[in-house]
Amino acid sequence: MPTPTRPPTARLPSRMLPKLRRDLLTWYNAHRRDLPWRRTRDPYRIWVSEVMLQQTQVATVIPFYHRFLQSFPDLGALARADIQVVLKHWEGLGYYRRAHHLHRAARKLVDSGGGRVPDRHRAFKALPGVGDYIANAVMSIAFDQPWAVVDGNVKRVLARLGGIGDPVNQAAAHRVFQQTADCLLDRRCPGTFNQALMELGALVCTPRRPNCPECPWQAPCFARQNDATAQFPTRIRRAPVPKRAMVAGVVCHRGQVLVVQRPSEGLLAGLWEFPGGRRRERETGSAACGRLLRESTGLSVTAERKLIRVNHAYTHFKIVLDLFLCRKAGGRVRLDGPQAFRWIRPAELNTLPFTGACKKTFAQLPLERLCRR
């Protein structure tokens, strides 16, 4: 059955807007969660929280947010920090590009003399990693400026409320949701209103089984009226995420294990991992391991046995990583690809920031024992 939708002109008629705003704010005042970033107006702290919350659940973010601000309580502290220390604080949160951008932006602001978060949208948006969402969120929440935020939660609520059939995962449709959010925004309290809308999406108008009886917008909601909440939002079908076969080697020597640091640009920039790479088609795991270690580290190794397999998902692909126990047969480390290497005792591994896939292997590997052999 085709999804019933409303024509653009009938989505949110202006006569409905004052009541929609009032009802949402009343609901928010009664139900808002007490989250650490809601206790501050410090733009730096709000910025950090919004960056962490992109792609990550609130419950996951909270401990990272506290640890991060304990170590880097202001822009100056973040700008002075070594990127490796910043990445270590980000380890486990994923999407490490966010940490690189935040760090670069802090340095830029401190170097440019001001050392403050700009209160002008255009200046703030010119910083590394600051797109429309972050700029609108920080400008509205920290400075009470009338910028409407549009994230996944907001799109879902607006699609259901207004009967908007444009796919939420299509770049061209973003403008439709942004315009709708701009119309709906309560310009007397934009920061609170933005948070209220996102909170409604997080707590009530959830992706599956929205709790419509508890919703302040149940009467005007198009999806609710048409018994079509499951049909909104719509999405375009994407090609399945490709899977890559990867291998890596655990090379132990005198009680230490070899780890390498990824290049300073690109995917997972600056993070550490066991040396390895992508297996070729029809290549066995052990042969790939020998080849990749020779190519990337200059070491000649024999892959003795497979230790473990881990699966890990990135934004645009998934990996299946086979980890092999390797015996060093000769050669000295000469890197081609990684930017640095270390022979390190297993107990000291937690001093470096590692890729998520590599971190997963630590919990399952008896590294101390393997390195004592």
List the one residue out of 357, 355, 347, 333 whose CA is nearest residue 272. Answer: 355
210 belongs to the binding site for ligand SF4 (CB under 6 A): yes
List the one residue out of 124, 59, 119, 52 whose CA is nearest residue 90. Answer: 52
310 belongs to the binding site for ligand SF4 (CB under 6 A): no
173 belongs to the binding site for ligand SF4 (CB under 6 A): no
Minimum CB separation of residue 29 from ligand SF4 in Å reads 17
In terms of CB distance, is 145 or 218 closer to ligand SF4?
218
Minimum CB separation of residue 201 from ligand SF4 in Å reads 8
CA distances to 70, 137, 213 from 290, rounded to whole Å, are: 43, 49, 60
Q: HSE, CB side, 13 Å, CA atoms: give it for residue 232.
A: 29
Quick one: tokens of 143?
A: 């400075």
Minimum CB separation of residue 44 from ligand SF4 in Å reads 33
Contacting ligand SF4 within 33-62 (CB under 6 A)? none
Q: How far apart are CA 316 and CA 106, in angstroms?
A: 28
Q: Of 51, 105, 130, 215, which one interacts with ligand SF4 (CB under 6 A)?
A: 215
CA 301 to chain centre: 36
Minimum CB separation of residue 9 from ligand SF4 in Å reads 20
Residue ranges with strand state E in the chain: 243-253, 256-261, 272-273, 276-278, 300-313, 318-330, 340-344
DSSP 8-class letter at 336: S
Contacting ligand SF4 within 269-288 (CB under 6 A)? none
Minimum CB separation of residue 220 from ligand SF4 in Å reads 8
Contacting ligand SF4 within 216-235 (CB under 6 A)? 217-218, 221, 223-224, 229
Q: Of 212, 308, 344, 349, which one interacts with ligand SF4 (CB under 6 A)?
A: 212
Q: Of 161, 173, 292, 358, which one interacts with ligand SF4 (CB under 6 A)?
A: 161
In terms of CB distance, is 19 or 41 closer to ligand SF4?
19
In terms of CB distance, is 49 or 180 closer to ligand SF4?
180
Cα torsion at 212, 213, 216, 219 (round to 10°)? 80
In terms of CB distance, is 24 or 93 closer to ligand SF4?
24
Instruction: Provide the 10 A C-beta neighbour count for residue 277.
Output: 17
Could you tell me if 178 and 18 are in contact, meaning their C-beta atoms sit under 8 angstroms apart?
no
In terms of CB distance, is 52 or 157 closer to ligand SF4?
157
In terms of CB distance, is 130 or 221 closer to ligand SF4?
221
Minimum CB separation of residue 228 from ligand SF4 in Å reads 9
DSSP-based three-state secondary structure for 30: helix
The region of 100-108, 129-137, 202-210, 309-317 touching ligand SF4 under the rule CB under 6 A is 202-210
In terms of CB distance, is 6 or 306 closer to ligand SF4?
6
The region of 69-77, 210-218, 243-251, 312-320 touching ligand SF4 under the rule CB under 6 A is 210-218
157 belongs to the binding site for ligand SF4 (CB under 6 A): yes
Quick one: tokens of 7?
A: 């024509």
In terms of CB distance, is 117 or 161 closer to ligand SF4?
161
Phi, psi of 67 (to 5 degrees): -60, -45
CA distances to 128, 291, 323, 351 from 360, rounded to whole Å, are: 30, 24, 11, 16
Check if 273 is active-site.
Answer: no
Under rule CB under 6 A, how many of the chain's residues touch ligand SF4? 14
Q: Of 160, 279, 312, 359, which one interacts with ligand SF4 (CB under 6 A)?
A: 160
Choosing from 50, 91, 199, 273, the catalytic residue is: 50
Angle at 360 between CA 305 and CA 87, to 5 degrees: 125
Q: For 308-316, which contacts have Cβ atoms below 8 Å and span 24 or more sequence positions? A: 308/361, 308/364, 308/365, 310/357, 310/360, 310/361, 310/364, 312/356, 312/357, 312/360, 313/241, 314/267, 315/95, 316/241, 316/242
3-class SS shares of the chain: helix, strand, coil, % to 5 = 50, 15, 35
Q: How far apart are CA 72 and CA 79, in angstroms?
A: 9
Q: Of 204, 288, 365, 371, which one interacts with ligand SF4 (CB under 6 A)?
A: 204
For ligand SF4, the binding residues (CB under 6 A) are 157, 160-161, 204-205, 210, 212, 215, 217-218, 221, 223-224, 229
Catalytic residues: 50
